[in-house]
Amino acid sequence: MSELNLKISNDLKHFSRTPEINQKYSDEQKAKIARTSKDFESLLTAMMLKSMNKTKEDGLFGEESYGGDYFETLFENEMAKNISSGSGLGLASELYKKITGEDLDVSSFKNSMEPLRIKSKVELKNMDKESTGIVPSKQSMERLEQFDEHIEEAAKRYGVDKGLIKSVIIAESAGNAKAVSSAKAKGLMQLIDSTATSMGVQNVWDPRQNIMGGTKYLSEMLRQYNGDVKLALAGYNAGPANVEKYNGVPPFEETKTYITRVLGYLNHLKEI
């Protein structure tokens, strides 16, 4: 075959379409494409981190950590956003260039990170979305299995959803019947002495009595707040006096985090 010679008078002739591609998008559209590309890369990074964390059997924060699974989710998401906020994996840049024909300026994202925080009182209406992806640890689920009979009994006696009881137990003690908090709350449902006594619990360390007493108290909270689960959980965690004082969920980070965790566990249990 003879050599094919091409005479090209304009070196850029074969790239004449590139400016046309660039001009298809306004600056606002390019900003949206850039953000979407970064979000996609962040999501992929979070999935990779989650997969890596699963190789550690007792989780990132240890088997006995209360709320460790919730903070693992936050950690994974925040790490993913931090990684992708810079040069990241390079995937966002490749996607952006494929669509627009231009290079992505990653420096514009370095100062766009939101600080790690729990939703404020004004944003509580979106808390169900915040609960998405919060999964109980494998160890807490395994410990919970041995109490199924007691949970079933308590659910029937007091008319409380079985999944809600389980979710409260996981959030309170991770299924550890011997758990004691810094406030001296005890057992599976973390009953303080005064609450245990008022609910007729004679031995707070007995799993059945603890579950029955905790469920009875939870049912009282649900009745007091007309079935509003968030207010009932707020009352269970912070006390009904604080719910009344603030005319709703108290602005305590611990309480808001607690509600988010319980709802997350509840959503997970409904899916399995």
DSSP 198-209: HTT-S-TTSHHH
Q: Kindly report the number of other CB atoms within 10 A of residue 46's CB atom.
A: 21
Q: Give the whole-angstrom CA distance, residue 158 versus residue 138.
A: 28
Q: Where in the chain is the domain with CATH 1.10.530.10?
A: 129-271
Known active-site residue 130? no
- End-to-end, the C-alpha distance of the chain in Å comes to 66
Residue 192, amino acid = I
Instruction: Please compute the mean of the pLDDT values over residues 23-28 and round it to a whole number.
Output: 69
What confidence score (pLDDT) does residue 252 get?
Answer: 95
User: Which segment of 9-13, 115-119, 191-195, 264-268 scores lowest on mean pLDDT?
Assistant: 115-119
Q: Which CATH number is 129-271 given? A: 1.10.530.10
Provide, for the chain, the percentages of residues in helix, strand and coil under a 3-state DSSP scheme, each rounded to the nearest 5.
60, 0, 35
Q: Give the whole-angstrom CA distance, residue 67 versus residue 69.
A: 5
What confidence score (pLDDT) does residue 6 get?
Answer: 44
Instruction: Please compute the mean of the pLDDT values over residues 142-148 and round it to a whole number.
Output: 95
For residue 69, pLDDT over 70 is answered with no
Q: Give the whole-angstrom CA distance, residue 127 versus residue 141.
A: 23
β-partners of residue 191 are 186
What confidence score (pLDDT) does residue 112 get?
Answer: 37
% of the chain beyond a pLDDT of 90: 47
What confidence score (pLDDT) does residue 171 get?
Answer: 95
β-partners of residue 186 are 180, 191
Please write down the long-range contacts of 246-252, taking CB distance under 8 Å and 24 or more positions apart: 248/121, 248/124, 249/121, 249/124, 251/120, 251/121
Instruction: Please compute the mean of the pLDDT values over residues 171-198 and round it to a whole number.
Output: 95
What confidence score (pLDDT) does residue 83 get?
Answer: 54
| pLDDT band per the 50, 70, 90 thresholds, residue 57 | low
For residue 190, pLDDT over 70 is answered with yes
Query: What distance lies between CA 178 and its chain's CA centroid?
Result: 26
Out of 102, 172, 244, 253, the active site residue is: 172
Tokens of 33: 């494409």
Instruction: Please compute the mean of the pLDDT values over residues 239-254 and round it to a whole number.
Output: 95
| pLDDT band per the 50, 70, 90 thresholds, residue 95 | confident
Average pLDDT, the chain: 76
For residue 223, pLDDT over 80 is answered with yes
Q: In this predicted model, which residue has the larger pLDDT, 38 or 150?
A: 150
